[in-house]
Amino acid sequence: MRTPAPAPSPAPAPAPAAVDLGDPATFADPDLDLDGYWRTLRDEAPLHWNPPVDGRRGFWVLSRHEDILATYRDDTHFTSERGNVLVTLLEGGDAGAGRMLAVTDGHRHHELRKILQRVLSPRVLDEVATTVRANTRRWIREAVESGGCDFAERIAARIPMTTICNLLGVPEQDHDHLLGLTRAALSADDEDVDEVDSEMARNEILMYFMDVVEERREHPGEDVISMLIASSVDGVPLTDEDVVLNCYSLIIGGDETSRLTMIDCVRTLAARPDQWQRLKRGEVELGTAVDEVLRWASPTMHFGRSVVRETEVHGVRLRPGEIVTLWHASGNRDERVFDRPELFDLGRTPNKHLAFGYGPHFCVGSYLAKVEIAELLSALRDFTTGFEQTAEPRPIRSNFLTGFATLPVRFDPDRAGLAAALAAGPEAGLEGAD
């Protein structure tokens, strides 16, 4: 009997000093073992210094789950008001500081959060969830019946953008325009798009919502923008700039996390038929599966903070003004928290993933994102017996987001599921209001 050849040894993880986390090209390198890099940091350098490169500032890197949680909780020594992602932290600040929820701390953050939690509460979103279900099931059914599609473009690009635009009262004819802008704002689909293009996209989003806010002040409706216009903090009404900046945050957050997670979910399930069958047979709860999909995708690789008061982490003194980045991409694979984190396990529980952040800045849109992903999984389970990736997807380029801009797939229809939907009519998703 021939002795099987030994499995090839994994390539050694790159030395921490050889990896520049500030460069989007780092994350587009298919030959770079980032999983090995994160393991090395967690084990040997849980507080790592990413040095300055080409005039760009250096910054600290936290890779362990417990350190990330501790920093998120600590608003005494750290602030988000100088930016919360590398693209703004490295530029020296965020124009929305003190007005946009994500980059506001203290009392005003608490009051702004109450306003947004009120307009994005599960009770308010129940009706929205019904529309998400109808749209998702209709689009998945159509894609399955046609045999296949670019899942990223035809489905993942539509579900979250349609949902958040409807909440904000954005006309349907503007959805594609805003989708293009959100894609460019913090990432790029190809290397020809640079930071100038991204900055222009961010400014265009702000200008678009400035026009919408002006119109809503004249003709208020039932949408989130009208609700924000009617809101106040400590008796002082929100300004146009306050409303616009928080609309920007909602449209970016409401689109990117869900869209990239959905794309990664389908790609991952296509490559793991055992996990797909667990979902198909109803062996895992949808909520449990959603959490594992989010942990695995980790679409927002990091968030950041600035030091405002000297403190010590892992024996190192951190000085005011220094940047500290908290890497979900590593924390969601931390062996100290997750059993066999390298495995995609739809039944994983508990699952203390960091996809929505933690602490005071925990994502206000988390409920809606989970609804969208759950409805995607439900529709896939009901309308297809399986699916496969038919070509290599194109990765996005970003030092903040991770995922793919394209995902060609072929679906095998579940004839019984499609027939049951046809018999049930509109409630099964044969019709839906965009």
Residue 228 scores a pLDDT above 50: yes
With 0.85 as the threshold, say if the pTM is over it: yes
- List the chain domain ranges: 22-421
Q: 179-185 long-range CB contacts below 8 Å, 24 or more apart? A: 179/255, 181/205, 181/208, 182/251, 182/252, 182/255, 182/256, 183/396, 183/405, 185/252
pLDDT on residue 184:
82
Residue 424 scores a pLDDT above 90: no
Residue 430 scores a pLDDT above 60: no
d(CA 92, CA 220): 36
Residue 3 scores a pLDDT above 80: no
CATH classification code of 22-421: 1.10.630.10
d(CA 1, CA 393): 40
d(CA 385, CA 28): 32
Residue 408 scores a pLDDT above 60: yes
Residue 432 banded pLDDT, cuts 50, 70, 90:
very low
Give which of 431, 353, 397, 411 is closest to 23, Cα–Cα: 397
The 3-state secondary structure of 174-196 reads: HHHHHHHHHHHHHCECCCCCCHH
Percentage of the chain exceeding pLDDT 70: 93
Task: Tell me if 399 sits within 8 A of 28, measured CB to CB.
Answer: no
pLDDT on residue 5:
43
**Amino acid, single-letter form, for residue 92:** G
Average of per-residue pLDDT across 84-113 = 94
Average of per-residue pLDDT across 252-273 = 95
Average pLDDT, the chain: 91
Residue 1 scores a pLDDT above 50: no
Q: Say what angle helices 415-424 and 366-383 make with each other, to 10 degrees.
A: 110
pLDDT on residue 74:
97
Give which of 278, 305, 304, 303 is closest to 293, Cα–Cα: 278
Task: Tell me if 367 sits within 8 A of 118, measured CB to CB.
Answer: no
pLDDT on residue 405:
93
Residue 6 scores a pLDDT above 60: no
Instruction: Tell me which of 16-20, 123-127, 229-233 is least confident.
Output: 123-127
How does pLDDT run across 198-214, given as a tens digit for each residue?
889 889 999 999 999 99
pLDDT on residue 246:
95
Residue 151, C-beta contacts closer than 8 angstroms, at least 6 positions apart: 143, 262, 263, 266, 407, 408, 409
Helix (H, G, I), strand (E, B) or coil at 433: coil
Average of per-residue pLDDT across 401-421 = 95
Residue 256 banded pLDDT, cuts 50, 70, 90:
confident
Side by side, the strands of the sheet bearing 59-62 are 47-50, 59-62, 323-327, 302-307, 78-79
pLDDT on residue 240:
96
Task: Tell me if 407 sits within 8 A of 393, measured CB to CB.
Answer: yes
Residue 17 scores a pLDDT above 90: no
d(CA 198, CA 433): 32
Cis omega (within 30 of 0) for bond into 237: no
pLDDT on residue 4:
41
Residue 97 scores a pLDDT above 90: yes
